[in-house]
Amino acid sequence: MDTRALSAATGFYSNAADLCAYFSAHIVGNGKLLDDASKKEMQRTQWPVTNSTFNQEYGLGLQVDLVGSRRVIGHAGGFPGMATRTLCDPSAKIVVSALTNCIDADPTAVCRAIFSFIDYFENKEQVWAQPSASAKADHNCFEGRSLRASIYNKEVVVTTQRNPQAKDQDCKKNAPAS
């Protein structure tokens, strides 16, 4: 694809898993990518963005945002018809990446919503069971489906619009036993 004037900003492509791995490498103390002093300097606020609605700041090559009470680092990208956003909470060791392929998508809102779901459940007094080591769910069974999650009456509700080519039996046979 000829990117013309956007060539300087569109020299690579990626996927959500690789972006999460890359931002995980920015977590101080994991020994990956850079030394800890460099990571801290990259994540330190170098200058504020005065016209931001989200108290956004810039580090070195990273955007710094507040999502609820979390101080997150991240970056966004885009090209006509595509938009991405990855946010990392280094202190909680959580990375969220949203990749979209429609012109009016808002991947920042998607990442913020996912963090709000995480915050909601972290603040619950329930103890969540860890999945067993033998539970190997096939997450590819959701390919070709649109999922929408929202909080209703203090419960997370996930709805899906079924793609006729998606095979329900594939999801059921690979689902962990409850």
What's the total number of domains in the chain?
2
Distance CA 2, CA 119 (A): 42
Interval 108-132: pLDDT, tens: 999 999 998 888 878 766 555 566 6
From 1-5, 8-12, 160-164, 172-176, the region with the lowest mean pLDDT: 172-176
pLDDT at 11: 66
Looking at the structure, tell me whether residues 34 and 119 fall in a common domain.
yes
Cβ-defined contacts of 15-21 (< 8 Å, 24+) = 15/99, 16/97, 16/98, 16/99, 19/84, 19/86, 19/95, 19/97, 19/99, 20/86, 20/95, 20/96, 20/97
Report yes or no on 6 lying in a domain. Answer: no
pLDDT for residue 98: 92
Write out pLDDT tens, residues 11-63.
Answer: 677 888 999 999 999 999 999 999 999 999 999 999 999 887 777 899 999 99
Residues 158 and 107 both lie in one domain = no
Question: What is the model's pLDDT at position 133?
Answer: 63
Residue 175: the pLDDT is 45
Q: Is residue 54 part of a domain?
A: yes
Whether residue 112 sits in one domain with residue 31: yes
> Where is pLDDT greater, at 72 or 149?
72
30 and 110 fall within a common domain:
yes
Q: Is the pLDDT of residue 90 over 80?
A: yes
Residue-range definition of the domain harbouring residue 67: 13-123
145 lies in the same domain as 95:
no
pLDDT-derived band at 2, boundaries 50, 70, 90 = confident
pLDDT tens digit sequence for 140-157? 555 555 556 666 666 666
Q: What is the pLDDT of residue 178?
A: 42
pLDDT at 121: 78
